Amino acid sequence: MENHIYKAGKKTAKNNVIGALLASPPLIGLLLFTAVPLVFSLLLSFSGLKGFDVSDMRFLPAGELFANYKTVLAHGLFWKSLLNTLYAAAALPLSIVLALLLAQLLNQKLRGKKIFRTLYFIPFVCSIIALTQMWRMLLNTQYGILNEFFGAFGIAKINWLGDSKYFMPSMIVMGVWQTIGFNFILLSAALTNVNPGYGEAAKVDGAGAWTRFWRITLPALTPTLFYLLVMGLIASLQEFTRFQAINQTVPGGPDNAGLTVVYYMYRMSFEQNITYGMGPANAAAWLLTAVVMLITFLNFRLSKKWVSYD
């Protein structure tokens, strides 16, 4: 009686072929547009290619095989861009904490809940180019609303995007503003999945709201917080668009305060490839990959101490 109709659930010879065939398009894409460039990037990082013409590509002599990596590691600007990128990533924890606050506040019976939810998420769907133009206006020294707001408290006008001291804090504020919505949506969904029974039981036992949040709600949210942290870090270590678009008069910001690692790579390969070119740019790409992988690994390692999956 073992049905002969439902064959799709069995590893028949026919299914082995049809299944693999139907499943394959994204994998073919992965092979052609991810695996091939990935290997090629590694090769380029050991080559002396400056421009884009592959026929000029020569590998570095065996003795100097790591010359590109040495060049990048000895380049002060690379380290600066790495520090800038890590500094900019400070937006992530801020964004997550504020999103958690909003999600927790909206996880109660309130009128107009839906409007708040809708509103908080809007910046996340917006074009980053449009948002950088918006923030350039908000942060403008002369007529920006931020200086007008602070001026009301007697604070002198600040050149937010033109002063290397204030450039990154401005970008962090913008980053938090832009990403709160995403973190908020995921945390809200996770909050509705927290079993209310535990909270009720703790309440009967006399636990206050604060204790209940720390002991019951927060542990239940740790898998989501971990996901947001891992994915958010991978994304913020690769930031580029905002930083390239925000300051066109001084690319990279005053004193390169806004030069991220990806921007550094872009500069080496597309803007200054006469001096540097593909070799150092790809070496920088792999160094960044190593940093991303190291941080992700540490994240998973540390997660055993604070993430609870029950």
Partner 1 sequence: MTETAAKKRRGRVSRAVKSTFSYAVLAAFALAFLIPFYIILITSFKATNRLATSTPFVWLPAFRDLGWDGYRNLFTEYTVTKTGASMVLTGVKNTFLVAVPVVFVGMLASCVSAYAFAKIDFRLKKTMFGALLFSMMLPGIVLLIPSFVIFDFLYLTDTFFPLIVPAMFGSAAGVFFLRQFFSGIPDELLDAGRIDGMGHARIFLQIMIPLSLPAILAQAVLGFIACYNDYLNPLIYLRQEEKYTLQIALQMFSGGNMTHLPTVMAGAVLALIPTIAVYLVAQKYFVAGITMSGLKA
Task: Enumerate residues 122-141 that contact partner 1 by CB under 8 A.
Answer: 122-123, 125-131, 133-138
Residues 47-66 that bind partner 1 (CB under 8 A): 49, 52-54
Handedness of CA 81, 83, 84, 85 (dihedral sign): positive
Closest CA to 77 of 292, 255, 249: 255
Please give the structure tokens belonging to residue 250. Answer: 């001084």
Smallest distance, partner 1 to C-beta of residue 156, A? 14
By the 10 Å C-beta count (0-12 exposed, 13-18 middle, 19+ buried), 188 is classed as buried
Please check whether residue 306 is in contact with residue 222, taking contact to mean a CB–CB distance below 8 angstroms. yes
Structure tokens at 61: 């002599």
- Tell me the C-alpha distance between 267 and 259, whole Å: 9
**Count of residues engaged in binding partner 1, rule: CB under 8 A:** 104
| Choice between 159 and 289, CB closer to partner 1 | 289
Q: Which is nearer to partner 1, 63 or 273 (CB)?
A: 273
Cα–Cα distances in angstroms (integers) from residue 210 to residues 71, 140, 217, in the given order: 53, 41, 10
CB of 255 within 8 A of CB of 164? yes
Residue choice 159, 222, 272, 296 for contact with partner 1 (CB under 8 A)? 296
- Binding segment for partner 1 among 82-90, 116-124, 158-166, 211-219 (CB under 8 A)? 116-124
Assess 275 for contact with partner 1 (CB under 8 A).
Answer: no
What residues numbered 208-227 form the site for partner 1, per CB under 8 A?
224, 227
Least gap, CB of 225 to partner 1 (angstroms): 11
Token pair 């930031």 is found at 239
Please state the closest distance from residue 255 (CB atom) to partner 1, in A. Answer: 20
Is position 158 an interface residue for partner 1 (rule: CB under 8 A)? no
Plot region of 195 (φ>0 → left; ψ -120 to 50 → alpha; else → beta): beta
Would you count residue 289 as binding partner 1 (CB under 8 A)? yes
Segment 94-113, which members bind partner 1 (CB under 8 A)? Answer: 98, 101-102, 105-106, 108, 110
Q: Which stretch binds partner 1 (CB under 8 A): 73-81, 89-97, 184-192, 195-203?
A: 184-192
Subset of residues 237 to 256 that bind partner 1, contact rule: CB under 8 A: 237-238, 240-241, 244-245, 248-249
Q: Among 179, 220, 191, which residue's Cα sits nearest to residue 90? A: 179
Q: Which is nearer to partner 1, 93 or 223 (CB)?
A: 223
